[in-house]
Amino acid sequence: MSKTKHVASERAAWIKRRAQELGFTSVGISVAHELTEEAPRLETWLKQGMHGDMAYMEGNFDKRLDPRKLLPGTKSVVSLLFNYHNDSGQTDPNAPKLAQYAYGEDYHFVLKWKLKELLKWMRAEWGDVGGRVYVDSAPILERAWAERSGLGWIGKHSLLLNKNMGSYFFLAEMLLDVDLEPDAPVTDHCGTCTRCIDACPTDAIIQPYVVDGSKCISYFTIELRGAIPEPVKGHMENWMFGCDICQEVCPWNRHASPTTEPRFAPHPRLLDMTQSDWLDLTEEVFKEVFKDSAVKRAGLHGLKRNIAFLQGDSS
């Protein structure tokens, strides 16, 4: 092995060890290049309007496909997984539901702090390392990079699946100007299973591996700023923020283990709130329960809109 390859291998192993100290469950590395295979798929997805009102998806097309255009000098893409699975569900079966990822503190802030720490450690260890960290904060095709780095495969529901963890994890990235030994991709293990497609109440998974984002419950309850379309009524299955249906039915999530990150534990009041508690949600309670939560993205007004829609009142 040449000295250059040896250094790249040592540094890759070092990053993985230190990332695990910060709570990341898996780390994969790819050589930065243009994602030529994704280009026609992304273009078709956008042209067919599957991004709905998410206009930001139309911008930075070239940067989405090539991280070197997003951050010049990038040589390596480091993809990281962080488990958020919480196996304690809401106690009232009639209460409007929210996706697990929103139970605890906003992952953007939790993970970005950890990534910045990791980058700080790198610079202390190796000197002047150029790079940036991202948690849903830049035009990066994060699932494509995670797949290339061997962290899993993109399932028929378009989420990344990992044989050991399932899919209840956050994705984060680091773009670095150092050479690192890359990891090899893994194979697809969805087989003939179509449980996610069959279970989606709004038929958002229009064919295996293709999700029409404008039909997804998560889109209606989080991204959509206007009124939820009337034809969706009766198909929301009581989800008021996000949706976990395709994850709940996936056989690979039988292997999911609870998160060990205390900041992703739900607020003490959250899981015990009843249907009537949610119907009578006040600004005071909202601010207390969702003080540092990703639910603040919808805001009190958005959450009350969603709850009202679930009650058959879209006003």
Pairing of strands 97-98, 76-83: unpaired
Percentage of residues of the chain with pLDDT beyond 70: 99
CA 33 to chain centre: 22
Q: What is the pTM of this model?
A: 0.95
Residues 67-82: what's their mean pLDDT? 97
Token digits of residue 61: 């097309």
Average pLDDT, the chain: 95
Which residue from 54, 86, 79 is spatially nearest to 135, judged by alpha carbons?
79
> Residues 251-259: what's their mean pLDDT?
95
Q: Which residues are catalytic?
A: 136
Between CA 280 and CA 218 the distance in angstroms is 23
Per-residue CA distances from 87 to 9, 90, 99, 100 (Å): 37, 10, 12, 9
Taking only the tens place, the pLDDT of each residue in 260-308 is 999 999 999 999 999 999 999 999 999 999 999 999 989 999 999 999 9
Tell me the mean pLDDT in the region 186-215.
Answer: 97
pLDDT at residue 3, as a whole number: 83
315 has pLDDT over 50: no
pLDDT at 312 exceeding the cut of 90: no
- Tell whether the model's pLDDT for residue 41 goes beyond 50: yes
Q: How far apart are CA 76 and CA 180, in angstroms?
A: 6
> In the predicted model, what is the mean pLDDT of residues 223-237?
94
Mean pLDDT, residues 58-65 taken together? 91
What is the spatial distance between Cα 170 and Cα 107, in angstroms, rounded to a whole number? 8
More confident position, 2 or 69: 69
Across residues 51-57, what is the average pLDDT? 88
Is the pLDDT at 207 greater than 80? The verdict is: yes
162 has which bridge partners?
166
pLDDT single digits (tens) 76-125: 999 999 999 998 899 999 999 999 999 999 999 999 999 999 999 999 99
- Compute the Cα dihedral for 24, 88, 278, 196 and give only its sign: positive
Closest CA to 243 of 252, 232, 254: 232
What's the confidence (pLDDT) of residue 55?
85
Q: How confident is the model at residue 1 (pLDDT cuts 50, 70, 90)?
A: low
- Per-position DSSP letters for 9-58, written without gaps between them: HHHHHHHHHHHHHTT--EEEEEE----TTHHHHHHHHHHTTTTTT-GGGG
When pLDDT is averaged across residues 13-29 and rounded to a whole number, the result is: 98
pLDDT of residue 199: 98
CA distance 313 to 61: 39
CA distance to 9, 29, 59, 104, 217, per residue, from 210 (Å): 35, 25, 20, 29, 15
Amino acid making up residue 90 = Q
